[in-house]
């Protein structure tokens, strides 16, 4: 069970310190939400911010691209030091080519499904990627409520991953806390993005530990 704090929920004026604090707290990945104001109705930050953070941390960077043209900007995120680059199936770039570009650039490619997108949409690419991200809110904003009905999608993808004998990570993102994380774990998720539920707590180490233990305890 991997915990990936989303810095979208942190105090951006202290981005470096907050990220380091989550690393020290035992986070497995740092989740970085990139929004272009076009694919989603919000703008967050881009590759230069990620690049400036990279030398300060040693945990893997999990870059979630909520942008319309992932292929056009993938090079910038590779050069910024992303370890995982996930992009949306619903975006405008050719999917096979974008996966290949990320792989050739030395990062691990992943695909993201919006709530409206069915599980089967990712099946043709499952053998080529390292992670599937099932959105459990509409992408664009932190602090929204977990969509429990996405759990059937998680379960269908989990079954397909296992049937094919793959080790693809299965991530959930949106509204994850100590109550909803275990529900997603039971459905088959093994990477948990959490923004507001972690950053609002005073003790990050305790928060990361409790979330990981509650998810692990559910399976
Ligand atoms: C939403 C982002 C999420 C967001 C999660 O578009 O992809 O990563 O930061 O925030 P919480 O955990 O607050 O729902
Ligand atoms: Zn995200």
Which ligand has the minimum distance to the alpha carbon of residue 175? 1
What is the C-alpha to C-alpha distance for residues 130 and 170, in angstroms, rounded to an integer?
9
C-alpha triplet 158, 162, 165: angle, nearest 5°: 145
Which ligand has the minimum distance to the alpha carbon of residue 7? 1
Beta bridge partners of 43: 36
pLDDT reported for residue 173: 99
Ion ligand 2 nearby residues (CB, 5 A): 33, 64, 173
Query: Strand, helix or coil at 135?
Result: strand
* Residue pair 8/49 in contact by the 8 Å Cβ criterion: no
pLDDT reported for residue 62: 99
What are the φ/ψ torsions at residue 161 (nearest 5 degrees)? -60, -45
C-alpha of 22 from chain center: 15
* Residue pair 132/126 in contact by the 8 Å Cβ criterion: yes
Q: Is 176 in the pocket of ligand 1 (CB under 6 A)?
A: yes
C-alpha of 12 from chain center: 19
Catalytic residue among 36, 130, 173, 177: 173
3-class SS shares of the chain: helix, strand, coil, % to 5: 45, 20, 35
Closest Cα to atom 4 of ligand 1: 142
pLDDT tens digit string along 119-143? 999 999 999 999 999 999 999 999 9
Q: What is the DSSP string of 56-113?
A: G--SPEEEEEE-S-HHHHHHHHHHTT-SEEEEETTSSS-HHHHHHHHHHTTSEEEEEE
pTM (2 d.p.): 0.98
What is the C-alpha to C-alpha distance for residues 135 and 137, in angstroms, rounded to an integer?
5
Please identify, by atom number, the ligand 1 atom nearest to the C-alpha of residue 177.
Answer: 12
pLDDT reported for residue 131: 99
CB under 8 Å to 214, separation ≥6 — which residues? 178, 181, 182
**Which value, in Å, is the radius of gyration of the alpha carbons in the chain?**
16
Q: Is residue 174 very low, low, confident or very high in pLDDT (cuts 50, 70, 90)? A: very high
Q: Is 41 in the pocket of ligand 1 (CB under 6 A)?
A: no
pLDDT reported for residue 44: 98
pLDDT tens digit string along 85-94? 999 999 999 9
């Amino acid at each position: 069970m991997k915990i990936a704090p989303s810095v979208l929920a942190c105090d951006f004026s202290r981005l470096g310190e907050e990220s380091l604090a989550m690393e020290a707290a035992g986070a497995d990945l740092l989740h970085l939400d990139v929004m272009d104001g076009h694919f989603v109705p919000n703008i967050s930050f881009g590759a230069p911010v990620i690049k400036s953070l990279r030398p300060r941390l040693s945990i893997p960077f999990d870059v979630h691209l909520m942008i319309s043209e992932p292929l056009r900007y993938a090079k910038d995120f590779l050069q910024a030091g992303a370890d995982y680059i996930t992009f949306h199936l619903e975006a405008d770039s050719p999917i096979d080519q974008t996966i290949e570009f990320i792989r050739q650039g030395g990062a691990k490619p992943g695909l993201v499904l919006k709530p409206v997108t069915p599980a089967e949409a990712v099946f043709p690419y499952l053998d080529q990627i390292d992670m599937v991200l099932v959105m459990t809110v509409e992408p664009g904003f932190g602090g929204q409520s977990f969509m429990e009905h996405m759990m059937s999608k998680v379960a269908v993808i989990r079954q397909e991953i296992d049937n094919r004998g793959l080790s693809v990570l299965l991530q959930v993102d949106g509204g994850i806390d100590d109550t909803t994380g275990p529900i997603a774990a039971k459905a088959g998720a093994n990477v948990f993005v959490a923004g507001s539920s972690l950053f609002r707590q005073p003790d990050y180490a305790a928060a990361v530990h409790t979330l990981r233990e509650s998810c692990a305890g559910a399976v």
